[in-house]
Structure 1
Amino acid sequence: MSRLIGVGVGPGDPELVTVKGVNALRAADVVVVPVMAAPDGKDGGEPGRAEATVLHYVSADNVVRVVFALNERSDRARREAAWDTAGGRVAALLREHGTVAFATIGDPNVYSTFTYLAQTIGELVPGVVVETVPGITAMQDLASRSGAVLTEGTEPLTLVPVTAGSRVLKEALAGPGTVVAYKFGRQAAEVAEALRESGRLEDAVWGASLGLPEETVRPAAGLGDEPLPYLSTLIAPPRRDGGRGGKL
């Protein structure tokens, strides 16, 4: 029986891969890591964050790069063609090896490439068993590194991808609880303005490349007009009265 396992390997720090995740990677017949496509549709050459993390635990001989159009947002035909090719490659690996682990940054069920891959493989390999191993998310890592508290008591937590548009972020900031924004780097100026309008700029924090040598963790009050790394994460807590247990 073929098994496809989506393994969350965290935001970048290899120490944040769970024991269960490491065991799943090592037990798989082959570990697939996604890489960005170059303009010609081939392997862009640079190792992705998932691959760099996986290589701390698995021999390179057991790792297979599969090209995905991860950076393609305008040419739908090119993106779809890349997905078909990637799906066919992983399907062939499943038929050959039986158990394939797919390493994804963060968690495989939170804005992950794995979701789409699993749908494609389900059509190409009837009867395939799809499983996931949860991973530490960027918002958890940023909260830890910055000291931000994600939720207290009855506060809700809202997660939005800013790629959906600044309006979605503004609506979330107008509501209660903590707002976490993913993928906001290219719209940093719009995000800063939305934080100012909502009165949340002072307590907000952002981070990028968490757990890597080039890691950045800074107050959102310093956001300017220049774009940040695409995979930047923002935490905007609500105003709290400081009372202990007041929202329990």
Structure 2
Amino acid sequence: MARLTILGVGPGDPDLITVAGLKALRQARTVAYPVAEPGGEGMAARIAAPWLQPEQQRLPLHFPMTTAAAPCRLAWRCAARQLLQAVAERPPVAMLCEGDVSLYASASYVALQLQTMAPSPLRVSMIPGVTAMAATAAAAHWPLALQSQQLLVAPAPETPTALDALLAKAEVLAVHKVGRRWPWLREALQQRGLLPQALVAERVGWPDQRLIPAAELPPGACSYFSLVLVRQAWPPVLPWDAGDAVAAV
């Protein structure tokens, strides 16, 4: 095992951790995980809780909920220093990441930071995890992309104009971090005739998971941990006639 492994634990269901991720987690003597507030539990740690062992040392890493450059860079440097110290004192170390390690993940920034700070012998391994959009598509039997369809993954846009720019680039759109943007986003999808072809998911993999056709969700705010899948078109070759495709969403 690498002295430091960064692993995705999936979106919420502990059973969605990969075999490789679980092996690395079980071998770790130190388990690091992100928290939004000092003293907080952290969602990645909650997901992995059934697999953690009492003798493993816990290392919470504080990542504030902000996009401001200065506090983010400070948090990444502090996390990297803490991880390097843990690797020196109690290896191997596993850092947990909700979802996947490379998709909108704090772990990605930490990995980049470590490249500038870590001693050359440090071996870092990154193990991918199940993404929320993949878990959503599987749970809803909603194929993300078929044949040569283009799939675009993006954070929720802030304006209808920005939404149009995204829709112009792909036949299938996966919009993350919807939250408070849902009221106007719902209206924009309705105006464009796409509301019947969209699916909303909240807290995928958690006990209170909700998967609902977008047309059935009123315009109130969604959970921060929500996403919308939008299908603009189906490919020409399907098990049914193209005219019946919309009814199959």
TM-score bin, normalised by smaller chain = 0.7 to 0.9
1:60, 1:182 → 2: CA distance? 35
Q: Is the 8 A contact 2:147 2:235 kept in 1?
A: no
1:26 and 2:54 are equivalent in the alignment: no
Shift of the alpha carbon at 1:60? 4.3
- Name the structure 2 match of 1:71: 65
Shift of the alpha carbon at 1:2? 6.8
- Name the structure 2 match of 1:107: 100
- The alignment's C-alpha RMSD in Å is 2.4
2:175, 2:57 → 1: CA distance? 31
From 110, 114, 118, the counterpart of 1:117: 110
- Name the structure 2 match of 1:213: 207
- Name the structure 2 match of 1:92: 85
2:148, 2:33 → 1: CA distance? 38
- Name the structure 1 match of 2:163: 169
Superposed, which structure 2 residues align to 1:6-85 within 5 Å?
6-37=6-37, 42-43=38-39, 45=40, 47-73=41-67, 75-85=68-78
1:208, 1:181 → 2: CA distance? 12
Q: Which runs of 5+ in 1 are unaligned?
A: none
- SS of match in other structure, 1:202: helix
Change (3 A) 1:240 1:25: same
2:229, 2:54 → 1: CA distance? 35
Shift of the alpha carbon at 1:63? 4.6
Change (3 A) 1:159 1:63: farther
Change (3 A) 1:21 1:145: same
2:190, 2:52 → 1: CA distance? 45
2:59, 2:76 → 1: CA distance? 14
- SS of match in other structure, 2:79: helix
The C-alpha deviation readout for 1:154-203, integer Å capped at 9, x for no partner, is: 101110011x5344433122343210011111211232133224322101
Q: Which amino acid counterpart does residue 43 of structure 2 have in structure 1?
A: R
Instruction: Using the aligned pairs only, state the percent identity.
Output: 28
Q: Which amino acid counterpart does residue 53 of structure 1 have in structure 2?
A: I
The C-alpha deviation readout for 1:100-138, integer Å capped at 9, x for no partner, is: 211111110111111111122222222122221111110
From 122, 127, 141, the counterpart of 1:147: 141
1:228, 1:140 → 2: CA distance? 19
Change (3 A) 1:93 1:139: same
1:138, 1:213 → 2: CA distance? 14
Q: Is the 8 A contact 1:160 1:169 kept in 2?
A: no
Give the TM-score normalised by structure 2: 0.86
Q: Is the 8 A contact 2:10 2:130 kept in 1?
A: yes
1:172, 1:105 → 2: CA distance? 25
Give the TM-score normalised by structure 1: 0.86
Q: Is the 8 A contact 1:66 1:89 kept in 2?
A: no
From 165, 190, 195, the counterpart of 1:201: 195
Q: Which amino acid counterpart does residue 46 of structure 2 have in structure 1?
A: A
Q: Is the 8 A contact 2:32 2:61 kept in 1?
A: no
1:125, 1:96 → 2: CA distance? 15
Shift of the alpha carbon at 1:93? 0.7
Change (3 A) 1:197 1:93: same
Shift of the alpha carbon at 1:146? 1.5
Q: Is the 8 A contact 2:35 2:43 kept in 1?
A: no
- SS of match in other structure, 2:50: coil
1:192 and 2:151 are equivalent in the alignment: no
Q: Is the 8 A contact 1:188 1:223 kept in 2?
A: no
Q: Which runs of 5+ in 2 are unaligned?
A: 243-249
Change (3 A) 1:5 1:194: farther
